[in-house]
């Protein structure tokens, strides 16, 4: 029991340590957490399903199973269930609009299954996302490395369509992941080969089409549930696309073959959110970044 209490204390302190060390993770997480506690749904029955999905996403993204097996040799499965149940309980009882009812208690039975269903150290080789074209190599690479988190996260993105406020907050969380997709730099050889075949405008077009295809089900669901908020959806789509294009053009504006990543951080995140929200400044910044990105690409590929 003492070992378990010490472990739970460690988990509690770990949350604040993450907040202090990585604002890219902590800021979107904090925004989503506050929304989950304050969101008001049409029916009490929706809350348990929403919070169970949140607990499931966190469970599927965990990488500490070997650690738990080592520390809790015989009871590590029980620790997994306990941690997930605590997360679910905090969200369920923390929401200011939810009242305890039978549906909320039933999901604890499903959480018991977490003891036998957890992420593998290696992704199933069948999940290679080969249907994604090679032109979208950033997406293919990211999805191969983050299959479970991506699938579960997309479920939350779909669920965000029920309410305008939740849609924008989840959108803020989503664009942080989008930034991660385009942060790594490809090799000099790969960049030369790619841009001898396609122009930067074509890359932007193909990536934007794929991104909007992912958002299309969210848009359709939003219009069905909130038919009188179509202008809100139009603004949301404009904001998401502007941020998306800014991130890609930034990558190639700053690209250098000796660097491995684009040094994306919280200041870039907030700066591009401001540009995208105000729209007009984003268009000027995008035009400037596109010009500089083309110039930078020409130094590697030529005219």
Residue 145 confidence (pLDDT): 84
Contact 186, 137 (CB under 8 A): yes
pTM tops 0.85, yes or no = no
Residue 26 confidence (pLDDT): 59
For the stretch 35-42, contacts whose Cβ atoms lie closer than 8 Å and that sit 24 or more positions apart, written own/partner, are: 35/165, 35/166, 35/169, 35/170, 36/91, 36/94, 36/95, 37/91, 37/94, 37/95, 37/96, 38/95, 38/96, 38/97, 39/95, 39/97, 39/163, 39/165, 39/166, 40/97, 41/97, 41/162, 41/163, 42/162
Residue 109 confidence (pLDDT): 85
> Which residue matches tokens 């949140």?
54
Is the per-residue pLDDT at 16 higher than 80?
no
Q: pLDDT for 38-48, tens place per residue?
A: 777 777 777 88
Contact 190, 53 (CB under 8 A): no
Is the per-residue pLDDT at 260 higher than 60?
yes
Range with the lowest mean pLDDT among 16-25, 59-68, 172-181, 291-300?
A: 16-25
Is the per-residue pLDDT at 119 higher than 90?
no
Is the per-residue pLDDT at 293 higher than 60?
yes
Q: pLDDT for 69-103, tens place per residue?
A: 888 888 888 888 899 999 889 888 888 888 887 77
Mean pLDDT of 158-172: 81
Domain boundaries of the chain, sorted by first residue = 2-121, 153-301
Q: pLDDT for 184-234, tens place per residue?
A: 999 999 999 999 999 999 999 999 999 999 999 999 988 888 888 888 899
Residue 31 confidence (pLDDT): 67
Instruction: Provide the mean pLDDT of the chain.
Output: 84
């Amino acid at each position: 029991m003492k070992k378990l209490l010490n472990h739970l204390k460690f988990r509690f302190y770990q949350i604040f340590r993450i907040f202090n060390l990585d604002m890219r993770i902590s800021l979107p997480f904090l925004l989503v957490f506050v929304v989950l506690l304050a969101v008001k749904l049409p029916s009490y029955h929706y809350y348990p399903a929403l919070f169970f999905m949140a607990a499931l996403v966190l469970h599927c993204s965990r990488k500490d199973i070997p650690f738990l097996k080592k520390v809790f040799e015989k009871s590590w499965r029980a620790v997994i269930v306990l941690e997930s149940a605590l997360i679910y309980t905090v969200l369920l009882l923390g929401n200011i609009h939810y009242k305890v009812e039978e549906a909320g208690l039933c999901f604890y039975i499903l959480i018991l299954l977490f003891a036998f269903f957890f992420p593998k150290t290696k992704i199933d080789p069948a999940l290679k996302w080969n249907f994604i074209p090679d032109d979208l190599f950033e997406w293919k690479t990211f999805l191969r490395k983050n299959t479970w988190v991506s699938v579960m996260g997309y479920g939350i993105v779909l669920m965000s369509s029920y309410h305008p406020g939740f849609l924008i907050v989840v959108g803020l969380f989503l664009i942080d992941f989008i930034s991660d997709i385009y942060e790594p730099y490809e090799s000099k050889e790969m960049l030369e080969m790619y841009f001898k075949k396609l122009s930067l405008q074509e890359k932007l077009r193909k990536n934007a089409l794929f991104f909007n295809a992912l958002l299309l089900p969210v848009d359709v669901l939003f219009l069905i549930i909130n038919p009188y908020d179509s202008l809100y959806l139009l603004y949301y789509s404009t904001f998401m696309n502007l941020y998306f294009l800014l991130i890609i053009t930034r990558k190639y504006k700053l690209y250098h073959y000796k660097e491995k990543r684009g040094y994306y951080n919280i200041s870039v995140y907030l700066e591009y959110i401001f540009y995208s929200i105000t729209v007009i400044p984003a268009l000027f910044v995008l035009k400037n970044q596109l010009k500089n990105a083309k110039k930078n690409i020409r130094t590697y590929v030529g005219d």
